[in-house]
Structure 1
Amino acid sequence: MAPVAENWTILSVASGIVCCTVLYILILSFYRIYFHPLSKYPGPALWAASRFPSAYYLTKGVIPYKTLELHNRYGPVVRLSPNELSFILDAAWQDIYGKPAARNTQLMKDQNQFLTHENGVHGLLGEPDDSKHARMRRNLSHGFSEKALRDQEPIIKSYVDLLIQRLHENSKEPVDVVKWFNFITFDIIGDLTFGESFECLKTSQVHFWVQSIFLHLKNLVFMGLLSSYGLVPIVLFFLPQSIKAKEQRHKDFTKAVLKKRLETSTSRPDFLSLAQKQLNQPQGITFDELVPTTGPLIFAGSETTATLLSGVTYYLTTHPSIYAKLTEEIRTAFKTEDEINIVSVNNLTYMLAVLSETLRIYPPAPASFNRVTPPEGCMVAGHFVPGNAIVAVNQWSANHSTLNFTRPWDFVPERWLGDAEFKDDKGKVVQPFSVGPRNCIGRNLAFAEMRLILARLVWNFDLVLEEKSKGWVENQDVMMVYLKPPLMVKLNPVVRG
């Protein structure tokens, strides 16, 4: 009888633990839904009770689309998890990412979102300390200025020339323009960062360093998610050796080319020219800080531009009247192709509107970039948000909301040209490069690249979308950026008399 009694004791203890656990979860969920400091904000009860719903859609790669659904249902402010709010109001940009006069401080980055440090040393993208971030940015911003861009134009033009040459060579068959746009943007920013390109255009192949960044994307999102649960050390312990080896190869290459660039005496107008002069100085930037800076810098400065160019190509080839109007503008504005340069493309009014509309309807960074409110709380777009809450503007949701735009799903460049139908559009909600002290440092370069490449592309080719790429923009997974399938386009060289 003793073993039976003992078994009943074990079963009773186990049952008690289960009951207590369930009771704790129910009480915690009840508190989060009805009494939590964010309980007044609307959202699904299950999302308010637990982080699992948002985590599920994040790992599925559809969180921006799901967030839009919730905004359409609940309004401009939605609770996405027990301690997280999403905004789609234009005023929220400055309050979350800027330094509003009422607060005069930045909101801290959510350190659990992305793991972007190297052995505890943060780079420009992930540095949580405002003063350290400002110091790093000062050392790099010179290379991204308008003056630097003018000096960099010969470098940029050489790669655009090579792109057009390669596209002519491959124009007999449909080409995947996503691949070619990635080739050129990675080559340009590689040259301007490391002093040498990845030779993607030259070899018509993706460099292993570039490949490793794309493979790393999902891992970065997952690790950021797991860090909030304290599970990163466990995952790293069980990580397959093959993945660790690829990661190490990527880091070793980064350090080697960065070291080579910094040891080279050169007056070339690139991103590291000023940083090189003050390397490891008190007001400069250190080598250890540059290592985790360069990877995200290169990726953010290339993938987003390639995404925008891919998106505008798709929308032009699926909207014949818009494409015809753009073609006429570009091909009549210039007598020769040599007249198309970084300055002259700024006079193409309709092309600028086309690009603005693409940035709205297909934002290159559709994910939310989280900030954390101060302990005392703060105002965001007229709403008081308690302390230590996660807040963000989701661009995909903001740009596709009927609260902000008339016919938000329609591709209409005229909305940026003063068309009366769109007079109530809230254009300021479109901030593809963010705002404030941590906005995109490469904004000038991105604008120059997208304008120059698009103008040269339309000047040289008639674009025809392949049947297999119809609906290309639909249902793309998002892991910080879109995981884009091939976009197959037939490039018919323009015949001129």
Structure 2
Amino acid sequence: MVYIQALFLTLAFLTVYYLIIPIINYIRDPKGLRKYPNLTIWSGFSDLPLIYESHYGRRSHTMLKAHEKHPVLRIGPNALSYSDPAAIKDIYGHGTKCTKDVFYSKLSGTHFHLADVVDKEEHARKRKVLSSAYAIKNLENWEYKVADMTERIIKAFDERCTDPLPDGQIPDSKDLTIDYRMWTNLYTVAAIANIGLNEDLRFLDQGSDLVTSEAKDGTVKKVRFRECLSANASVTSTLIWAYEWYETFTRVSKIVSSTYRQKWGLAKDWDGIVHNRATSRWKRYEKGESLDDFFSALMEDKSGAPNNLEWGEIEAEVSIMMNAGSDTTGIALSNVLLLLLKNPKCLKTLREEVDGVLEEDDKIAPYDKVKHLPYLRACLDECMRMYPPVSFHVPRRTPPEGATIRGEFVAGETSVGISAYVVHRNKEIFPEPESFKPERWLGDAGKNLQPYFVAFSAGARGCIGRNISYLEQTVLLASLVRRFEFSLPSPSWEPVRRETTNLSSGPMPMKIWKRPIGAVDV
């Protein structure tokens, strides 16, 4: 009898909390949000539909379809999504009064890192500490680290080359010797570890992302870097949308779902990877090693004076560097070659441009020779337009007094955002949005599109690492298309895509062989 009463009371509570109160609030409409169309029939009452779409990795795609009819959507009881490019400046611009949403504070650990800190003054302090490390001048001084990783991936690809593929044929499955998605990710992880922590992970030499994870008690084990990072992104980006219930849903998911329980375990291993990277670098710092990397910028300013950061903040910054500094660029690198192979005329144009500036002995494309190539940059930007690595509606929060967005007042403490995946498919700004057209970024027409390009977000909170991303993408893509030919399993082949906060793709098997030109024989 006691059990039945407890069950009844629990069901009654859940009914009131999840059904009755949301309906009352929807009818009361204290913020005036009921005028906006809903993403689903339930979105005005509950955040669960957004969690559902996130669980299946299709959130932005679903929002795109709904936005074809409506420039503003209500995606939760207290959340709006925009597709109108006019809203970019209002939400993300330098003069906006909107701040980082609750999303970020819920996902932060004991300390904020640069990407999730909410307070604007605290963000300014952090950005000042890191801005010198991410400056273009520093990055070009570290080009040799990117060149080193590029040489290693070329060596690995040389060893996996096959015979040339006759025109009009598809490759035999045994000749699909590389998973390009995996290799580009190994490249970006290895590069950011070297640039950020002066650590050689040897991922490209081993063809593996096996790495050490260290628990707080000192216990260590070997784990897969990409698997742990992916699991962490999957569970957090799914359950987070019900902010008030995030911790509860996390606990429940570990009990009712073996899949989520496994992913949460891998997410804990991700924390252990970060901890091990940070403590290993700290030990070298304590020994007095003078190393030129991001970690040094965390520890000391330009004059050598200590920044006196707490350890939790140091680990947080290492975490976002290893996360955002690897996965997004790896995604972009895999997508751009995929799109070039599906558009051979674009690949031919790119090769002509690259071949025109490189010498026969340029095994690795020098950044100084390729950084200003217009078509190369256009290919990268067009790829990130179509498949922005950070695809989700990066959420902001209106100030307590409210804000005006695209000419309409939005009440205070409301979550607002724009998905790069959605706005990059605005047909008025980007005609034929599903077509790969690098030429749209050339000349004055391309300059006019830049305000609507939000692959790195926008405004004062835009991605501080965009320069390093372009450095890695430019050098690697130029070097690879110069030296190799690639083939997909078939002309119509597409990777499996799944969205977390990033729009990631699954394995990308390819056949690879040497280009028949003198430049590849160095």
Q: Residue 55 of structure 2 is aligned with which of 35, 59, 68?
A: 59
Matched with 1:150 is 140
- 1:40 pairs, out of 35, 39, 46, with 35
The alpha-carbon deviation at position 301 of structure 1 amounts to 1.1
Counterpart of 1:307 in structure 2 is 331
In structure 2, the residue matched to 1:334 is: 358
Q: Is the 8 A contact 1:399 1:429 kept in 2?
A: yes
Q: Aligned partners of 1:23 and 1:237: how far apart in 2?
A: 22
Deviation at 1:393, TM superposition (A): 1.0
Partner of 2:23: 29
Q: CA deviation at 1:189?
A: 0.4
Residues 1:288 and 1:401: Cα distance change in structure 2 (over 3 Å): same
State the match for 1:111 in structure 2. Answer: 102
Deviation track 1:309-339 (CA, whole Å, cap 9, x = no partner) reads 1111111111111111112221223232528
CA displacement at 1:24 relative to structure 2:
8.7
Residue type of the partner of 2:87? A
Deviation at 1:382, TM superposition (A): 2.2
User: Is the counterpart of residue 275 in structure 1 residue 298 in structure 2?
Assistant: yes
SS of the residue corresponding to residue 90 of structure 1 reads coil
Pairwise CA distance, 1:281 = 7.8
* SS of equivalent residue, structure 2 residue 325: helix
Does the Cα contact within 8 Å between 2:92 and 2:461 map onto a contact in 1?
Answer: yes
Q: 1:442 maps to what in 2?
A: 465
> Retained in 1: the 8 A contact 2:487–2:510?
yes
In structure 2, how many angstroms separate the alpha carbons of the residues matched to 1:24 and 1:223? 16
Shift in alpha-carbon separation, 1:162–1:29, aligned structure 2, 3 A: same
Equivalent in the alignment of 1:231: 248
Tell whether 2:183 aligns with 1:180. Answer: yes
Greater shift in the superposed pair: 270-279 or 362-371:
270-279
2:421 counterpart residue number: 396
Q: 1:43-80 deviations in whole A, cap 9, x for unaligned?
A: 34421222221121012111010110110122x22111
Give, in whole Å, the separation in 1 of the partners of 2:428 and 2:28. Answer: 28
Q: Is the aligned partner of 1:263 residue 2:286? A: yes
Q: What is the alpha-carbon distance in structure 1 between the residues aligned to residue 74 and residue 506 of structure 2?
A: 32
Matches within 5 A, 1:240-259: 246=269, 249-259=272-282
CA distance in structure 2 between the aligned counterparts of 1:215 and 1:28, rounded to whole angstroms: 31
- Note the alpha carbon deviations across 1:7-37, whole angstroms, 9 max, x for none: 9xx99x969x859947993574264267342
Q: Mean Cα displacement is larger for which, 410-419 or 428-437?
A: 410-419
User: d(CA) in 1 for partners of 2:22 and 2:249?
Assistant: 25
In structure 2, list runs of 5 or more residues that go unmatched.
163-174, 213-224, 256-260
2:74 aligns with one of 40, 62, 79: 79
What residue identity is the alignment partner of 1:150? E
Instruction: Please report how far the alpha carbon of residue 266 of structure 1 lies from its aligned counterpart in structure 2 after TM superposition.
Output: 4.3
Residue pair 2:105, 2:118 contacting (<8 A) in 1 also:
no
Deviation of 1:222 (Å): 3.9
Q: Contact conserved, 2:229 with 2:267, CA < 8 A, in 1? A: no
SS for the counterpart of 2:200 is: coil
* Other structure's SS at 1:49 match: coil
Quickly say closer, same or farther: Cα 1:141–1:116, change in 2 above 3 A.
farther
Shift of 1:171: 1.4
- The equivalent of 2:167 in structure 1 is none
Question: Deviation of residue 347 (structure 1)?
Answer: 3.2
Contact in 1 for aligned 2:378/2:441 (Cα 8 Å): yes
Distance in 2 (CA, whole Å) between partners of 1:187 and 1:19 is 50
- Residue 42 of structure 1: how far off its partner (Å): 2.5
Matches of 1:19 and 1:295, distance apart in 2: 39
The root-mean-square deviation of aligned C-alpha atoms, in Å, is 3.3
User: How far apart in 1 are the matches of 2:384 and 2:53?
Assistant: 24
| Match of residue 374, structure 2, among 343, 349, 354 | 349
Is residue 315 of structure 2 the alignment partner of residue 291 of structure 1?
yes
How far the C-alpha of 1:236 sits from its partner, in A, is 9.0
| Residue aligned with 1:384, SS | strand
1:408 paired to 2:433: yes
Q: Tell me, which stretches of 5 or more residues in structure 1 are unaligned?
A: 1-5
- Identity over the aligned pairs, expressed in percent? 27
Aligned counterparts, 1:83-232, within 5 A: 83-100=78-95, 105=97, 107-112=98-103, 115-118=106-109, 120-172=110-162, 173-174=175-176, 175-208=178-211, 210-211=225-226, 212-225=228-241, 227-229=243-245, 230-231=247-248
Cα drift, residue 237 of structure 1: 8.3
Aligned partners of 2:94, 2:493: CA distance in 1, in Å?
A: 40
Alpha carbons of 1:91 and 1:179: their partners in 2 closer, same or farther (altered >3 Å)? same
- Cα 1:490–1:419 change in 2 (3 A) is farther
Decide whether the 8 Å contact of 1:84 with 1:389 is kept in 2.
yes
Change (3 A) 1:460 1:133: same
Residues 1:484 and 2:505 are matched in the alignment: yes
Secondary structure of 1:364 counterpart: coil
Give how far 1:116 is off: 4.1
Give, in angstroms, the shift of residue 430 of structure 1. Answer: 1.5
**What CA deviation, in whole Å up to 9, does each residue of 1:126-162 have, x standing for no partner?**
2222222222222122111111012101111111111
SS in structure 2 of the partner of residue 61 of structure 1: coil
The one of 465, 484, 489 equivalent to 2:488 is 465
CA distance in 1, matches of 2:350, 2:271: 46
- SS of 1:85 mapped into structure 2: strand
Q: Does 1:417 find its partner at 2:442? A: yes
Moved more, 239-248 or 435-444: 239-248
> Structure 2 CA distance, aligned partners of 1:354 and 1:488?
21
Partner Cα distance (1:244, 1:152) in 2: 31
- AA matched with 2:80: L
1:385 aligns with 2:410: yes
SS of residue matched to 1:375: coil
Matches of 1:222 and 1:403, distance apart in 2: 31
Whole-angstrom distance in 1 between the partners of 2:57 and 2:472 = 28
Aligned residue in 2 for 1:325: 349
Question: 1:200/1:449 Cα in 2 relative to 1: closer, same or farther (>3 Å)?
Answer: same
